[in-house]
Chain A
Amino acid sequence: MIQETFTVKHGVGLHARPAAKFVKLAKKFDSSIRLRNLTRDGEEVDAKSLVKVIKAAAAQHHEIRVSIDGPDEEEAIKALTDFLINVPEEEQ
């Protein structure tokens, strides 16, 4: 089980294309991946569901916590960290 906290850097938040990309990425892994919007004090949701991720309404600068549990959790956290941290300038 790995937990990491991130600040949303995408200008539009985890919404629209960034959210779709995030979910697509999460789905590549067998581990269970869950997301919680700490800023909104929201509930933890399945990060492999775009509907749930949008409902988490993580806007830019919100704090989110990603929890991963499963056989490929190391690879998963690496990939998601890269996606959330290395945001191209034009998407910030």
Chain B
Amino acid sequence: MNRYPGIVASPGIVTGRVFLYRKTAVQIARKLVADTAAEVERYRSCVQEADESLSSLMEKLEVDGMAEQVEIFEIQREFLTDPSYGEAIAERIAETGLVAEAAVEDVSKELAEEFSAIDDDYFAGRSADILDLGKLLIGVLTGTKSHGLSSLPGPSVVIADDLAPSDTAGIDRDKVLALCTRAGSATSHTAILARSFGIPALVGLGPITVDQGIEVVVDAVGGALVLEPSPEERAAFAEAEAKFQDRKEVLLKSAKKPAVTTDGHRVGIWANIGSVADARQAIELGAEGSGLVRTEFLFLNRKTLPTEEEQYEVYRQIAEVFGKRPAIIRTLDVGGDKELPSVDLLPEENPFLGRRAIRLALSDPERLLYPQIRAILRAGHGRALRMMFPMISSLQEIQSAREAVEHCKEELLREGLDHDREMPVGVMIEIPSAAIIADRLAHYVDFFSIGTNDLVQYTIAVDRTNDAVAHLADTLHPAVVLLIQRVIDGAHAAGKECGMCGEMAGDPAAIPLLLALGLDDFSMAPGSVPFAKDQIRRLSKGDLEGLKRVAVTASSSEEIREETGRFATGLLG
């Protein structure tokens, strides 16, 4: 096999030679130098260079809205001249005669250990910044700045396990054709970097083995990495690439216009986002709102929970990027396959059927629910935020969640803090029990948002992370389609809106069907927005009546797929 599936983090198609990037530690010769004064001088000029590299990187990231990363670099720059770090290294060289690389390594390790020992996670977390800075300095000293990514042999496809900001610090953007990582998601650093460079990227490729220097095609349209393509494959991809570029240009020109069918039916094309940078990109690509603002990223890679203030700040920034466009913030959705170091999850026999998402939040509202609801309500003051709860299975959970919202409003009122008292509150419909009684639940919420990934998993009883059965997870299964129809009709009967924020909403094969079923808002990966708008503008809702009839009476997904396939448009048009 020469074809490996991956998640498209930034679309495009490119052919090139592989530059395998391994995060191996640079071997340091621990030796003594004869001329310590000259060694201190060499060290000082490297500090200068590292400082310039951090400073130029900060500017770039500031443009991309990565405030948190900018802050880390700002602190690292301060460390460079700190008497206890940067200066301590110079003293160490002068006193011991150690080569600069070894002095950097020693002082960094010592200090990182001291930081780690602080009994407050927040402060202890700085230990990683020191180690990262040490690596940067050693990279500059050994002339392998950022371990090779700054000195690519030629235009290359970079393949790595995962890329951190320090890896890509000196990256030569003119020589990077594409980025591919074994780990990572569409919101990882690699993905954000690729989008800001405007180059194709595939992430989540899994543990693949690729040889240095071989030719590959990065098909970040179809979502595959193809090793050593045959001449035929190469020609086909070259053609697809040209087509993709042409089409992208055309679509981007009309991306900010609404999605109206040929018979005048308008739907909302929204984006799923997980950071402020995503929000900016979504607006750029024409998103009219966000049907899913994931908040898990605020909770990742840390041992303590984010405070209300931290959350407020991020939600406010996202709301400001969206302006008058609605943005639906989903409360914490962990458990199942998503774990967090700051939240103690008991081991469960069956985590997907266990205490996840809203169940977890309601079990410890003081820590997990109230701070988040308060932050959302406050950030929504004078802005167009909405709030949504995941994994609702019954009316009782909706009532508990709404009570929590009321409780927070009362508190905020008492404390005199500005907040949105009229914020629309909705729920995700992703469990069959909720879908079946959607018409009743609709009276208790302001909107529904269908989460198809879980709805499919729970309806068909298939674990999508299990390779042996993942192929059964079919969004066009007739039972799934019937449930979707039930949810949309249930919302409409109560005069409420129904959106969708699962993968299905951006799938060209599903869009005609969802339009036929009357879905109001489609929320998808930002990169899909221009394509979905284009597809909808070519469709007529009236023409889709036949498709709807087939879809709600079909016995197999093949029947539905055949019918909807007639209206599909791919990334290539």
Binding site for B on A (CB under 8 A): 11-13, 15-17, 19-20, 23-24, 46, 48-52, 54-55, 57, 59, 90-92
Are A16 and B71 touching (Cβ within 8 A)? yes
Contact assessment for A12 and B74 in the assembled complex, using a CB-CB cutoff below 8 Å: no
CB <8 Å contact, A49 and B83: yes
Q: In whole angstroms, how far apart are the Cα atoms of A81 and B168 in the complex?
A: 40
Q: Which residues of chain B come closer than 8 Å to A54, judged between CB atoms? A: 115, 123, 126
Q: Which residues of chain B (75-95) have a CB below 8 Å from chain A?
A: 75, 78-79, 82-85
| Given known A-B contacts A49-B83, A50-B82, A51-B84, A90 and B123 have beta carbons under 8 A apart | no
- Residues A59 and B122 in contact, CB atoms below 8 Å apart: yes
* Docked-complex contact B309 and A92, CB < 8 angstroms: yes
Cβ contact within 8 Å between B309 and A24: no
Instruction: Provide the main secondary structure of the chain B interface.
Output: helix
* Chain A hits for B85, CB < 8 A: 51
Chain B residues with Cβ below 8 Å from A52 are 83-84
Q: In the complex, which of the residues A13, A23, A90, A92 contacts B78, with contact meaning CB atoms closer than 8 Å?
A: A23
- Assess whether A15 is in contact with B111, with CB atoms less than 8 Å apart: no
- A51 to B110 Cα, complex, angstroms: 12
Judge whether B118 is part of the interface by a CB distance below 8 angstroms.
yes
Cβ distance A35 to chain B, nearest Cβ, rounded Å: 14
Would you call B82 and A17 a contact (CB within 8 A)?
A: no
Further 17 A-B residue pairs, CB within 8 A, beyond A49-B83, A50-B82, A59-B120: A13-B122, A15-B123, A15-B126, A16-B75, A17-B71, A20-B74, A20-B75, A49-B84, A50-B75, A50-B78, A51-B79, A57-B119, A59-B122, A59-B123, A90-B313, A90-B316, A91-B309
Q: Please measure, in the bound complex, the distance between the C-alpha atom of A52 and the C-alpha atom of B82, giving whole angstroms.
A: 9
Chain B nearest Cβ from A24, distance in angstroms: 7
Which residues of B sit under 8 angstroms from A59, Cβ to Cβ? Answer: 120, 122-123
Q: How far is the CB of A28 from chain B (nearest CB, A)?
A: 14
CA distance A59 to B313 in the complex (A): 19
Verify A20–B122 contact, CB threshold 8 A.
no
Residue from B78, B111, B114, B310 within 8 A of A20 (CB atoms): B78
From the candidates A16, A17, A55, name the one contacting B115 in the complex (CB within 8 A).
Answer: A55
Q: How far is the CA of A46 from the CA of B307 in the complex (A)?
A: 29
Most buried by B among A12, A16, A90, A91: A16
